């Protein structure tokens, strides 16, 4: 079954709206930094990835909302977004206080003036944030912080263990036509991510398999490198049964629709394994893209006091450890790596704590790149990926 490409189309308006600002290296609108926390407003509206803000409805053991609401009087309203482009579009529309943004969205929202600087002095647990993330370039511009780190991790190759008795060691099982270990073709049995940032996954694969292209950074591609990535993705399209963006739809596809391999998040892997499905995951030899997510404050947040209280709450070790156990991610407060009943003392290592330097974290591609003279900007990634999904 082929999926429509309306999700990617939604990205086009969001990308084009900030392209000129990104190219200029500025922000579309400045906002004054909050200097004190006042009386809580009674609510806070958050745009979040699936599984990122749990109140025990899926599993009673995972609830980091109820206690916050009781302690602060701030009722948490959650809007789930399945892609970074959807998050940018929602923040452009407004009506939300916070967003848990990945690096391929955060700079666009800063450049577009959709988020405001965060006063880290009003977040007492800021000093507990992993030093590798405090000044990360996807939320820090000219020394100003536009958010509070939340969690990070790598995209993984999820696979069916009945099809693959041994773990596949390469992304070639989703990029190249082949006969799988069960004797059947991979055509129609694999998936790929429904988001323009997936072009970086193709570029990362080419870094290993076509070194002559000279790719140094999968988010910084000249025209030749970019065209090679598009060629690989057009080749892949003949194999893809569905381009996924909804984690729960992908879970159903692996359970009921015969999908056996795909790029995925540890969240889907954990859910499927908890359901007794024959599922495992691996980071192949080529490496992986990944995400380092930041809680960012909308420039027109109606509930900034509750928002600041939530940002502080988001860094407490219990929440950080429980979320890491639930999602398969890595805490930004490393105190969570010991003494958490759900995560366990080996959980951070299992989830990839030591892989930080091996991950190509999502980033918004821009024309003025560092590794070479000029690169293909993100708005082109959007329009070209829409064309690929549409079979062009």
> Could you tell me which residue, 123 or 14, shows the higher pLDDT?
123
Q: 154-289+365-389 — its CATH code?
A: 3.40.190.10
The continuous run of DSSP H or E covering 160 comes out as: strand 156-160
Q: What is the mean pLDDT of residues 247-257?
A: 96
Please check the confidence at residue 27 and state whether its pLDDT lies above 90.
no
Please check the confidence at residue 333 and state whether its pLDDT lies above 80.
yes
pLDDT above 90: percentage of residues in the chain: 86
Q: What is the mean pLDDT of residues 268-285?
A: 94
Please check the confidence at residue 4 and state whether its pLDDT lies above 90.
no
Question: In this predicted structure, what is the pLDDT of residue 38?
Answer: 96
> Could you tell me which residue, 14 or 108, shows the higher pLDDT?
108
Bridging pattern class, strands 288-298 and 359-361? parallel
pLDDT above 70: percentage of residues in the chain: 92
Residues in the chain, overall count: 392
- State the CATH architecture for 6-153+290-361: 3-Layer(aba) Sandwich (3.40)
Return the residue matching tokens 């709206």: 17
Helix (H, G, I), strand (E, B) or coil at 206: helix
Question: In this predicted structure, what is the pLDDT of residue 30?
Answer: 52
Burial 229-253 (b: 16+ CB within 10 A, else e): bbebbeebbebbbbbbbbbebbbeb
Question: In this predicted structure, what is the pLDDT of residue 15?
Answer: 43
Please give the sequence-ordered ranges of beta strands (E in DSSP) within 94-205, or none if there are none. Answer: 98-101, 115-116, 140-141, 144-145, 148-154, 156-160, 190-193
Helix (H, G, I), strand (E, B) or coil at 346: coil
Please check the confidence at residue 13 and state whether its pLDDT lies above 70.
no
CA distance 90 to 96: 8
pTM beyond 0.75: yes
Question: In this predicted structure, what is the pLDDT of residue 355?
Answer: 87
User: What's the DSSP call for residue 71?
Assistant: H
CA distance 81 to 88: 10
Q: What is the mean pLDDT of residues 297-324?
A: 98
CA distance 211 to 216: 9
Question: Do 98 and 311 contact (CB within 8 A), yes or no?
Answer: yes
Please check the confidence at residue 6 and state whether its pLDDT lies above 90.
no
Please check the confidence at residue 18 and state whether its pLDDT lies above 50.
no
Per-residue pLDDT tens digits for 347-362 = 999 899 988 988 999 9
Question: In this predicted structure, what is the pLDDT of residue 391?
Answer: 84
Compute how many other C-beta atoms are within 10 angstroms of the C-beta atom of residue 268. Answer: 26
Please check the confidence at residue 19 and state whether its pLDDT lies above 60.
no
> Could you tell me which residue, 373 or 309, shows the higher pLDDT?
309
Q: Provide the residue ranges of all domains of the chain, joining segments of one domain with +.
A: 6-153+290-361, 154-289+365-389
Domain 6-153+290-361 and domain 154-289+365-389 have a common topology: yes
């Amino acid at each position: 079954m082929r999926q429509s490409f309306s999700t990617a189309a939604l990205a086009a308006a969001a990308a084009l709206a900030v392209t000129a600002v990104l190219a200029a290296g500025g922000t579309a609108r400045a906002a004054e930094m909050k200097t004190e926390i006042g009386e809580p407003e009674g609510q806070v509206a958050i745009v979040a990835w699936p599984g990122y803000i749990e109140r025990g409805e899926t599993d009673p053991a995972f609830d980091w909302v109820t206690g916050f609401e009781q302690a602060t009087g701030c009722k948490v309203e959650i809007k789930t977004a399945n892609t970074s482009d959807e998050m940018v579009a929602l923040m452009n529309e407004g009506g939300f206080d916070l967003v848990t943004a990945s690096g391929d969205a955060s700079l666009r929202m800063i450049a577009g003036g959709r988020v405001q600087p965060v006063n880290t002095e009003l977040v007492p647990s800021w000093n507990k944030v992993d030093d590798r993330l405090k000044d990360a370039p996807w939320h820090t511009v000219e020394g100003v912080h536009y958010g509070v780190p939340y969690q990070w991790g790598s995209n993984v190759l999820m696979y069916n263990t009945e099809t693959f008795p041994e773990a596949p060691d390469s992304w070639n099982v989703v990029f190249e036509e082949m006969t799988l270990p069960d004797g059947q073709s991979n055509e129609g049995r694999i998936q790929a991510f429904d988001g323009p940032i997936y072009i970086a996954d193709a570029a990362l694969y080419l870094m290993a398999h076509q070194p002559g292209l000279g790719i140094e950074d999968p988010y910084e591609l000249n025209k030749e490198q970019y065209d090679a990535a598009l060629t690989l993705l057009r080749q892949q399209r003949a194999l893809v049964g569905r381009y996924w963006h909804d984690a729960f739809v992908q879970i159903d596809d692996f359970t009921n629709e015969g999908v056996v391999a795909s790029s995925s998040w540890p969240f889907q892997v954990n859910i499927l394994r908890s359901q007794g499905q024959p599922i495992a995951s691996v980071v192949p030899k080529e490496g992986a893209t990944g995400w380092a997510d930041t809680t960012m404050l909308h420039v027109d947040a109606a509930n900034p006091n509750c928002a600041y209280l939530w940002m502080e709450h988001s860094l407490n070790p219990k929440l950080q450890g429980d979320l890491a156990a639930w999602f398969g991610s890595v805490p930004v407060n490393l105190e969570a790596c010991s003494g958490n009943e759900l995560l366990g003392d080996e959980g951070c290592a299992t989830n990839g704590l030591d892989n930080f330097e091996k991950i190509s974290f999502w980033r918004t591609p821009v024309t003025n790149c560092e590794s070479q003279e000029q690169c293909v900007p993100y708005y082109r990634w959007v329009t070209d990926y829409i064309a690929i999904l549409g079979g062009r």
